[in-house]
Amino acid sequence: MSTDDRVARRVTVHLITSGPRGPHLRGARVLFGQDPARLARTLGNLASDAPLVALDVLTETVSLSHSRALHVDRIIFAEPHLSSAWPSVLPAEGLTPLARHLADAEPEPAPQEPPRLRRFASYGLVTDPAGRILLSKIAEGFPAAGTWHLPGGGVDTGEDVRAALRREVLEETGQRGVVGALITVASHRRLPSTGGTDIYAVWVFSHVHVGAPTRPHVTEENGSTVDCGWFTPEELPRLRLSTTAQRGLEFLTSHPDH
Protein backbone atom coordinates (compact mmCIF):
# COMPACT_ATOMS: atom_id res chain seq x y z
CA MET A 1 0.00 0.00 0.00
CA SER A 2 1.44 3.39 -1.00
CA THR A 3 1.53 6.48 1.23
CA ASP A 4 -1.20 8.10 -0.86
CA ASP A 5 -3.44 5.07 -0.25
CA ARG A 6 -3.04 5.51 3.52
CA VAL A 7 -3.22 9.31 3.70
CA ALA A 8 -6.35 11.10 2.51
CA ARG A 9 -5.97 14.64 1.13
CA ARG A 10 -8.29 17.54 1.89
CA VAL A 11 -8.28 21.31 1.22
CA THR A 12 -9.93 24.02 3.31
CA VAL A 13 -10.25 27.77 2.88
CA HIS A 14 -10.32 30.37 5.64
CA LEU A 15 -11.21 34.07 5.56
CA ILE A 16 -10.28 36.78 8.04
CA THR A 17 -13.36 38.96 8.12
CA SER A 18 -15.01 41.46 10.45
CA GLY A 19 -17.15 40.29 13.34
CA PRO A 20 -18.92 41.92 16.29
CA ARG A 21 -15.77 41.52 18.40
CA GLY A 22 -13.27 42.38 15.70
CA PRO A 23 -11.46 40.29 13.06
CA HIS A 24 -12.13 36.57 13.15
CA LEU A 25 -11.75 33.49 10.94
CA ARG A 26 -14.38 31.58 9.06
CA GLY A 27 -13.56 28.32 7.32
CA ALA A 28 -15.01 25.71 4.99
CA ARG A 29 -13.97 22.61 3.08
CA VAL A 30 -13.07 23.09 -0.58
CA LEU A 31 -14.93 20.52 -2.65
CA PHE A 32 -13.89 19.27 -6.08
CA GLY A 33 -14.19 22.06 -8.64
CA GLN A 34 -14.68 24.91 -6.17
CA ASP A 35 -12.57 28.03 -6.55
CA PRO A 36 -10.96 28.80 -3.14
CA ALA A 37 -11.15 32.59 -3.53
CA ARG A 38 -14.80 32.46 -4.57
CA LEU A 39 -15.59 30.25 -1.59
CA ALA A 40 -13.76 32.67 0.71
CA ARG A 41 -15.88 35.56 -0.55
CA THR A 42 -18.99 33.48 0.11
CA LEU A 43 -17.83 32.92 3.70
CA GLY A 44 -17.61 36.66 4.21
CA ASN A 45 -20.79 37.53 2.29
CA LEU A 46 -18.59 39.61 -0.02
CA ALA A 47 -19.21 40.70 -3.59
CA SER A 48 -17.91 38.38 -6.29
CA ASP A 49 -15.24 40.91 -7.27
CA ALA A 50 -14.28 41.97 -3.74
CA PRO A 51 -10.48 42.10 -3.33
CA LEU A 52 -8.80 39.45 -1.22
CA VAL A 53 -5.24 38.90 -0.03
CA ALA A 54 -3.79 35.38 0.08
CA LEU A 55 -1.79 35.30 3.32
CA ASP A 56 -0.63 31.75 3.94
CA VAL A 57 -1.08 28.05 3.29
CA LEU A 58 -0.77 25.81 6.34
CA THR A 59 -0.34 22.05 6.19
CA GLU A 60 -1.80 19.80 8.87
CA THR A 61 -1.26 16.04 9.09
CA VAL A 62 -3.22 14.03 11.65
CA SER A 63 -3.73 10.36 12.39
CA LEU A 64 -7.24 8.98 11.95
CA SER A 65 -6.46 5.41 13.01
CA HIS A 66 -3.50 3.02 13.15
CA SER A 67 -3.58 2.71 9.35
CA ARG A 68 -5.14 5.95 8.09
CA ALA A 69 -4.09 9.60 8.24
CA LEU A 70 -5.28 12.91 6.86
CA HIS A 71 -3.27 15.63 5.10
CA VAL A 72 -5.04 19.02 5.05
CA ASP A 73 -3.86 22.07 3.09
CA ARG A 74 -5.43 25.17 4.62
CA ILE A 75 -5.54 28.36 2.53
CA ILE A 76 -5.77 31.64 4.44
CA PHE A 77 -7.35 34.72 2.81
CA ALA A 78 -8.18 38.10 4.29
CA GLU A 79 -10.02 41.21 3.37
CA PRO A 80 -7.15 43.62 2.58
CA HIS A 81 -7.72 45.94 5.56
CA LEU A 82 -7.62 42.93 7.91
CA SER A 83 -4.35 41.35 6.69
CA SER A 84 -2.43 42.52 9.76
CA ALA A 85 -4.71 40.44 12.01
CA TRP A 86 -2.92 37.26 10.86
CA PRO A 87 -1.85 35.15 12.71
CA SER A 88 -3.24 36.62 15.92
CA VAL A 89 -6.74 35.44 14.97
CA LEU A 90 -5.61 31.80 14.82
CA PRO A 91 -7.78 29.92 17.40
CA ALA A 92 -6.03 27.97 20.14
CA GLU A 93 -8.01 24.85 19.19
CA GLY A 94 -6.94 25.12 15.55
CA LEU A 95 -8.62 26.06 12.32
CA THR A 96 -12.17 24.92 11.68
CA PRO A 97 -13.46 22.72 10.24
CA LEU A 98 -11.23 20.57 12.42
CA ALA A 99 -9.37 17.72 10.75
CA ARG A 100 -11.54 15.06 12.37
CA HIS A 101 -14.59 16.63 10.70
CA LEU A 102 -12.96 16.27 7.27
CA ALA A 103 -12.51 12.51 7.35
CA ASP A 104 -15.53 11.72 5.15
CA ALA A 105 -14.74 11.37 1.47
CA GLU A 106 -16.59 13.32 -1.21
CA PRO A 107 -19.26 11.43 -3.15
CA GLU A 108 -17.88 9.60 -6.17
CA PRO A 109 -18.87 10.93 -9.61
CA ALA A 110 -21.94 9.39 -11.20
CA PRO A 111 -21.31 6.41 -13.53
CA GLN A 112 -21.92 8.55 -16.63
CA GLU A 113 -19.41 11.20 -15.44
CA PRO A 114 -15.68 11.05 -16.24
CA PRO A 115 -13.18 9.97 -13.56
CA ARG A 116 -11.75 12.75 -11.44
CA LEU A 117 -8.19 13.78 -10.64
CA ARG A 118 -7.44 16.39 -7.99
CA ARG A 119 -4.06 18.14 -7.61
CA PHE A 120 -2.64 20.61 -5.12
CA ALA A 121 0.45 22.28 -6.54
CA SER A 122 3.02 24.91 -5.59
CA TYR A 123 4.65 27.16 -8.22
CA GLY A 124 7.30 29.86 -8.01
CA LEU A 125 7.80 33.25 -9.54
CA VAL A 126 11.56 32.79 -9.33
CA THR A 127 13.82 35.84 -9.65
CA ASP A 128 17.52 36.68 -9.36
CA PRO A 129 19.30 39.93 -8.37
CA ALA A 130 19.27 41.07 -12.03
CA GLY A 131 15.48 40.84 -12.18
CA ARG A 132 15.39 37.82 -14.47
CA ILE A 133 12.62 35.20 -14.31
CA LEU A 134 13.39 31.47 -14.15
CA LEU A 135 11.24 29.18 -16.31
CA SER A 136 11.19 25.46 -17.08
CA LYS A 137 10.09 23.81 -20.33
CA ILE A 138 7.57 20.97 -20.33
CA ALA A 139 8.75 17.73 -21.94
CA GLU A 140 6.97 15.83 -24.69
CA GLY A 141 4.32 13.41 -23.49
CA PHE A 142 3.08 15.73 -20.74
CA PRO A 143 0.18 18.21 -20.82
CA ALA A 144 1.19 21.53 -22.45
CA ALA A 145 4.37 19.96 -23.85
CA GLY A 146 6.77 22.50 -25.33
CA THR A 147 5.53 25.47 -23.33
CA TRP A 148 7.54 27.43 -20.80
CA HIS A 149 6.28 26.88 -17.30
CA LEU A 150 6.80 28.20 -13.78
CA PRO A 151 9.09 25.91 -11.76
CA GLY A 152 7.01 23.88 -9.36
CA GLY A 153 4.59 20.99 -9.21
CA GLY A 154 2.48 18.77 -7.03
CA VAL A 155 2.77 18.90 -3.24
CA ASP A 156 3.58 15.41 -1.98
CA THR A 157 1.62 13.83 0.85
CA GLY A 158 3.04 15.05 4.17
CA GLU A 159 4.86 17.96 2.48
CA ASP A 160 4.04 21.67 2.76
CA VAL A 161 3.91 24.15 -0.13
CA ARG A 162 7.28 25.74 0.70
CA ALA A 163 9.20 22.50 0.96
CA ALA A 164 7.55 21.27 -2.24
CA LEU A 165 8.54 24.44 -4.09
CA ARG A 166 12.17 24.30 -2.95
CA ARG A 167 12.35 20.68 -4.06
CA GLU A 168 10.75 21.31 -7.44
CA VAL A 169 12.93 24.35 -8.24
CA LEU A 170 16.05 22.31 -7.50
CA GLU A 171 14.84 19.31 -9.54
CA GLU A 172 13.73 21.34 -12.54
CA THR A 173 16.43 24.01 -12.69
CA GLY A 174 19.30 23.13 -10.33
CA GLN A 175 18.82 26.42 -8.46
CA ARG A 176 18.58 26.83 -4.70
CA GLY A 177 16.21 29.60 -3.73
CA VAL A 178 14.56 31.15 -0.70
CA VAL A 179 10.77 30.92 -0.72
CA GLY A 180 9.32 34.29 0.17
CA ALA A 181 5.87 35.80 0.20
CA LEU A 182 2.76 34.03 -0.98
CA ILE A 183 1.55 35.79 -4.14
CA THR A 184 -1.87 34.30 -4.84
CA VAL A 185 -3.89 31.09 -4.90
CA ALA A 186 -5.90 30.11 -7.97
CA SER A 187 -7.77 27.10 -9.28
CA HIS A 188 -8.05 25.53 -12.71
CA ARG A 189 -10.38 22.86 -14.07
CA ARG A 190 -9.89 21.02 -17.34
CA LEU A 191 -12.96 19.10 -18.44
CA PRO A 192 -12.36 16.28 -20.92
CA SER A 193 -13.93 16.31 -24.37
CA THR A 194 -14.58 12.54 -24.54
CA GLY A 195 -13.22 9.64 -22.58
CA GLY A 196 -10.77 11.68 -20.52
CA THR A 197 -10.32 12.70 -16.92
CA ASP A 198 -11.92 15.67 -15.17
CA ILE A 199 -8.84 17.44 -13.74
CA TYR A 200 -9.18 20.02 -10.99
CA ALA A 201 -6.13 21.78 -9.56
CA VAL A 202 -5.44 24.32 -6.86
CA TRP A 203 -2.32 26.36 -7.64
CA VAL A 204 -0.33 28.20 -4.96
CA PHE A 205 2.02 30.88 -6.32
CA SER A 206 4.93 32.16 -4.21
CA HIS A 207 7.93 34.36 -4.79
CA VAL A 208 11.30 32.59 -4.76
CA HIS A 209 14.59 34.49 -4.84
CA VAL A 210 17.85 32.92 -6.01
CA GLY A 211 20.58 35.13 -4.59
CA ALA A 212 23.48 33.38 -6.31
CA PRO A 213 22.15 32.09 -9.66
CA THR A 214 24.08 29.48 -11.62
CA ARG A 215 23.65 28.00 -15.07
CA PRO A 216 20.20 26.38 -15.00
CA HIS A 217 20.11 22.64 -15.62
CA VAL A 218 17.49 19.95 -15.16
CA THR A 219 18.49 17.52 -12.38
CA GLU A 220 15.46 15.20 -12.39
CA GLU A 221 15.56 12.14 -14.64
CA ASN A 222 12.66 11.13 -16.89
CA GLY A 223 10.51 13.90 -15.45
CA SER A 224 8.21 16.47 -16.97
CA THR A 225 10.94 19.08 -17.52
CA VAL A 226 13.15 19.05 -20.63
CA ASP A 227 14.86 22.46 -20.40
CA CYS A 228 15.11 25.57 -18.23
CA GLY A 229 16.50 29.06 -18.38
CA TRP A 230 16.66 32.62 -17.07
CA PHE A 231 14.71 35.24 -19.04
CA THR A 232 14.46 39.00 -18.84
CA PRO A 233 10.96 40.50 -18.53
CA GLU A 234 11.33 41.82 -22.10
CA GLU A 235 11.81 38.28 -23.42
CA LEU A 236 8.66 36.83 -21.86
CA PRO A 237 6.12 38.08 -24.47
CA ARG A 238 7.97 36.11 -27.17
CA LEU A 239 7.69 32.80 -25.31
CA ARG A 240 4.91 30.23 -25.55
CA LEU A 241 3.78 30.03 -21.94
CA SER A 242 1.77 27.37 -20.14
CA THR A 243 -1.61 28.29 -18.65
CA THR A 244 -0.05 28.13 -15.19
CA ALA A 245 2.72 30.56 -16.14
CA GLN A 246 0.23 32.91 -17.77
CA ARG A 247 -1.95 32.96 -14.65
CA GLY A 248 0.96 33.66 -12.31
CA LEU A 249 2.58 36.33 -14.47
CA GLU A 250 -0.75 38.03 -15.26
CA PHE A 251 -1.44 38.35 -11.54
CA LEU A 252 1.91 40.09 -11.02
CA THR A 253 1.23 42.42 -13.94
CA SER A 254 -2.17 43.42 -12.56
CA HIS A 255 -0.87 43.65 -8.96
CA PRO A 256 2.50 45.44 -9.25
CA ASP A 257 2.69 45.85 -5.45
CA HIS A 258 3.58 42.14 -5.33
CATH topology classification for 116-254: Nucleoside Triphosphate Pyrophosphohydrolase (3.90.79)
Residue 3's pLDDT is: 52
Distance of CA 204 to the CA centre of its chain: 2
Provide CB contacts within 8 A for 229, sequence distance 6+. Answer: 134, 135, 137, 216
Torsion of CA 69, 70, 71, 74, to 10 degrees: -150
Torsion of CA 100, 102, 107, 109, to 10 degrees: -140
Domain definitions of the chain by residue range = 3-102, 116-254
Residue 194's pLDDT is: 75
What's at 155, amino acid-wise? V
- Answer yes or no: same fold for 3-102 and 116-254: yes
Which numeric CATH code is attached to 3-102? 3.90.79
Residue 1's pLDDT is: 40
Flag residues of the chain having pLDDT under 70: 1-5, 254-258
pTM: 0.92
Provide CB contacts within 8 A for 230, sequence distance 6+. Answer: 128, 132, 133, 134, 213, 216
What's at 92, amino acid-wise? A
CA–CA separation, 14 and 118 (whole Å): 20
pLDDT tens digits, one per residue of 40-73? 999 999 999 999 999 999 999 998 877 789 999 9
Residue 252's pLDDT is: 75
